[in-house]
Amino acid sequence: MNASGAAEEAFVDLRDVTRTVLLPDDQELHILRGVDLQVRIGDHTAIVGRSGCGKSTLLNILGLLDVPTSGTMIFDGTPVGKLRNNTRAKVRGASIGFIFQQFNLLPGRTALENVVTPLMYGSRKEFWGRNAIGMEMLERVGLGARAGTQPHMLSGGEQQRVAIARALVRRPRLILADEPTGALDVETGQAVMDLLDTIATESGAALVTITHDLNVAARARTRYRLDAGVLSPTDTVATSAALVAVGA
């Protein structure tokens, strides 16, 4: 609710979204079936599901990398179906930060060079101020002293912190994290999720984490399960209780 008592508009609003692809034998594969999802600024949403259930497909749609086959999607007040490809790419660069399981840092570039890469495509202010902005982000993730270090000299947790700094350097309103702890040990993964949660909250962004790790999902305030392309909210209390019961 906002100050006037009205329900706040979702930053991303998917209604009855489907994604269908045509296979070589002319059969249709229904990857997403009638997905309803509202993501609000300040939310931390987790989507869990087994391999092949459609998680990457949903992430690609949320990240404006792909479009629904049917249904409606509103992104920051604009119907996505009305956006041209190049406008979609611009909105993506300015409004969405991506974090991947394998960090996807550029080899042979320093931590700072990696972090400032998105600023090369930003406004003049972002472009010319990129080193100062990048350093500030690296300091926020606790790696100011490693600005000149290349990724292969950093630990997995440190590489993911650099990737977080890079994802957040243009102050995106939506952060999409795809198995962000998948390549990290449990303790490092928890520290990375703590950091991601804190920075997303401080930056006033929405965080959507796609994961098969129930420990990671348990941190989110809103949880969904994706099962064969069908998205359903999971019962928060029951899920938490179940997670505690299995020692997660």
Ligand X SMILES: Nc1ncnc2c1ncn2[C@@H]1O[C@H](COP(=O)(O)OP(=O)(O)OP(=O)(O)O)[C@@H](O)[C@H]1O
The region of 50-58, 75-83, 89-97, 139-147 touching ligand X under the rule CB under 6 A is 50-58
Give yes or no for residue 57 binding ligand X (CB under 6 A): yes
Does residue number 29 form part of the binding site for ligand X (CB under 6 A)? Answer: yes
Span near ligand X by CB under 6 A; candidates 52-60, 107-115, 122-130, 201-209: 52-60
97 binds ligand X (CB under 6 A): no
Binding flag, residue 54, ligand X (CB under 6 A)? yes
Is residue 217 within the footprint of ligand X (CB under 6 A)? no
The residue from 21, 106, 153, 241 that contacts ligand X (CB under 6 A) is 21
Task: Closer to ligand X by CB, 56 or 117: give it.
Answer: 56
**Token representation of residue 82:** 């009305």
Alpha carbon distance 119, 28 (integer Å): 40
CB 19 within 8 A of CB 31: yes
Minimum CB separation of residue 52 from ligand X in Å reads 4
51 near ligand X, rule: CB under 6 A: yes
- Tell me which H or E stretch contains 245: helix 236-245
Residue pair 38/9 in contact by the 8 Å Cβ criterion: no
Distance of closest approach, residue 178 Cβ to ligand X, in angstroms: 8
Cβ distance to ligand X smaller for residue 29 or 153: 29
Size of the site for ligand X (CB under 6 A): 11
User: Counting Cβ atoms within 10 Å, is residue 68 exposed (0-12), middle (13-18) or buried (19+)?
Assistant: buried
The DSSP code sequence of 11-36 is SEEEEEEEEEEE-TTS-EEEEEEEEE
Say whether residue 31 binds ligand X (CB under 6 A).
yes
> How is 97-159 classified by DSSP, letter by letter?
EEE-TT--PPTTS-HHHHHHGGGGGS-HHHHHTHHHHHHHHHHHTT-GGGTT--GGGS-HHHH
Q: Contact positions toward ligand X, by CB under 6 A?
A: 21, 29, 31, 49, 51-57
